[in-house]
Each structure stands twice: as structure tokens, then as C-alpha cells.
Homo-oligomer: A and B are copies of this chain.
Amino acid sequence: MKCDVLVVGAGLAGLTVAERIANDMKLKVIVVDKRDHIGGNVYDFYNNDGILIHKYGPHIFHTNDSEVYEYLSRFTEWRQFEHFVLSSVDGKLVPMPVTLDTVNAIYGTDMNEEEMKAFLEKEAVSFDEIKTSEQVALSKVGPLLYEKLFKNYTKKQWGIDASELDTSVISRIPVRFNHDTRYFADTYQGMPLYGYTKMCEKMVESKNIKLLLKTDYKEIASEIQHRALVYTGRTDEFFHNFYGKLPYRSLDFIFETHDMEKFQEAPCVNYPNDNEYTRITEFKWMTGQTCYKTATCKLIPGDDGQALYPFPTAEYQAQFANYRKLMAKEKNTYFVGRLAEYKYYNMDKVVKRGLEVFEDMKKDYEELSTYERVHSLSEEEL
């Protein structure tokens, strides 16, 4: 088989590049994915109880990037939704991130903005140099809030104590001295009105795009002729683990349907100190679906399972840097996305990277002479 561009991975990264190549450059694309569906980890579907759920855990779109927002808006309308999270602490549900309401609830106080500022200044621990995630938190909110809200959550999430994680993990703890309990502060926040899968289906609508599902790229790599390769899979696998396997943190998803209209008081409730799961998400809050039952998802972090979170430690980033060098040597190959770049991108950033890589590809293509453009494929065949 032949195509102009072979895209490995039908997640947001792959679909963004595929869509642009097919619709802007009018070139032929084949998108390959191991799974039996498109959408990668944003895939949503109706479960056996007719409730729209996110197969790979809750996804809430938020961005400050108007280009990305406008790009995706070509493929979906949006449901206005501002995410909010409660954290279960000492039997109470307090808002996350830390706001005036959080502090007052935990300390049983009735402080105002000025009083909270003064209070946290007193609580905060100062360090000569901040090197760990623990220090980031302590320097912002002090020991008690750190213990109750962050310490155990982080340990559960990463399997490593925050004192051993570099600053990037809790790099930015927003602390709000007001009543803004929104989880994200981004300009654009919402959910694709009919779900992520329907948005993704629109992205691949072009007749120039073929989908090859349930297919491991390695099985067909040599059998599909292509001018360029867009690779969104695991980089270590691409290079046959030449520099060793890159570690990932994973999640187990425990889906449950409940015979009630509403299960909990927020789209997401964190359990920093109790249970083996970190949080429970209730999908109807996000999707706006109205029906008699409701579905939730518990997230249980672990090291086995699907590759979800690249480890944000200097050691593994150094390991990845070796792969970066190999990546740079691959001809006509573009690496893009969370797995390929070993980097925890949010959805908006994944799409952004897809758009950037497309621009690179377009430039590379335009730099080819007409002769090369016509003959690049047949030359490869020889």
C-alpha cells in the first residue's frame, strides 16, 4: 500500500497532523492505531448503561491558546463547563486548588483575603534553594495544608515521596486569596458538545484519510510506502529500547454505574489521604448528560499498565535525551505528542504540537523541488 504520509497513532497528536495534511495539503494519509478506535486517550463512548464516559479517564479541555481553541472549534461545538474539584479532608469536602474557602474550612476560621495572606506567610517554610516538590508546597502553603492536601496525594499519584520529586511535579500550586474555586483559570474551558469521539470523527472526515485500526505499526511499517512518517507512539519502542525502556506512571480505571441521578457534589472529588484511589470523577457533571443513572471513575495510580505519565525526574529525562539524538537522525520522520516526546502535554498542547509539526512538514515539503515531490515516493520504492 501507498500513501504520502503515514501517521502512527490516532490520538489528538496524530489526528491533528493527519487532518492538516489531508485538508490543507490535499495529500493522502493513512492513520494506523493498535486500538480498535480513534481518539487515543480522549476516546469517549456510551457504556452499557447508556452513559457517556471517558475510557481512559476524565478529560477536560482548557486552554489560553486561541489558535488551538479555534482549530478544534472547526470540528465541534462546545459545552460551557468550568471544572471544579473538592478534596476530602478530615471528613469535609474543601475546594481545590487552595482558596480562601479551603483555608477557612480546614482551619475552622473566617479569614478575609488580607488575613489569609498574613496567615500563609506565617505558615510558609522558607528554603535557601527550592529543589523538590515538597519544598515547593511547603514554601507556598506551609506544613499543615501540605500534609492534608498534597503530601499523600502526590505519594499515591507517583509512588514516590514529594521530597524525592523535582520541582516540576508541583511546579505551580495556585493559591487564591478569594472565592474563585474553578480548577482551571484558562480563557477557554469546556467539553466537546457531543463528546471527544465525535469531534475526532470530524477531524478524519476527509476522503484523503484512511484508518487502519487494530494494527501494530511494527507489523506494517515496511509494507506501506510513504514519503513521511508521523510517529506519536512510544519513542523507546520505536528504537527497540536501544537506551532502555522509558518508565511511565499508569492508572487503573474503576468504572461504576450508580442507580441515582447524581453521585457526588462535584465533577471530581480528591481523596488525598484515604483509599487507594486518588480521586473519583462523575462524568455527567462534565458531559451535561441527563439520565436516570450516573457513572463514576476511580483512578488508582500504579506502575503497570498503559503508558500515561512520563516520569518527571532528571534521571529519566536524561535517558530520553539520548533518544532525542536518535530522533534527530531519522529522515522524513516527525515525532509528536506525549508518548513520542516523553512529556506530559495537556490536550491543548498536544494539538498545538500537532499544528507546529504540520507547519514543519509543510515547509520541508515546499522546499523539495517539483521533481523531488513527484519522485520522492517512487525513489523510495527503488
Contact = CB atoms under 8 A, between A and B. Distances in A.
A214 B1 CA distance: 14
B223 A214 contact: no
Contacts of A207: 214
Given A48-B194, A52-B46, A209-B214, A223 B290 contact: no
A34 to B, nearest CB: 10
Contacts of A264: none
Q: Which of the four size classes fits the interface of chain A?
A: 20 to 34
> What is the total number of copies of this protein in its complex?
2
A214 B204 contact: yes
A245 interface: no
Q: Is the interface of A mostly helix, strand, loop or mixed?
A: loop
Nearest to A293: B290
Nearest to A33: B211
Given A52-B50, A290-B292, A210 B214 contact: yes
Contact of A46 (B50, B214, B224): B50
A223 B224 CA distance: 9
A24 B36 CA distance: 21
A165 to B, nearest CB: 38
Interface core residue of A36, A209, A220 (most chain B CB under 10 Å): A36
A213 interface: yes
A210 B213 contact: yes
A52 B52 CA distance: 11
A215 interface: yes
A50 B291 contact: yes
Contact of A211 (B2, B213, B223): B213
A276 to B, nearest CB: 29
A191 interface: no
A168 interface: no
A212 interface: yes
A80 interface: no
Contacts of A204: 36, 214
A214 B48 CA distance: 27
Interface of A: 1-2, 36, 46, 48, 50, 52, 193-194, 198, 201, 204-205, 207, 209-215, 220, 223-224, 289-292
Given A36-B201, A207-B214, A211-B213, 4 more contacts: A1-B224, A48-B193, A210-B212, A291-B291
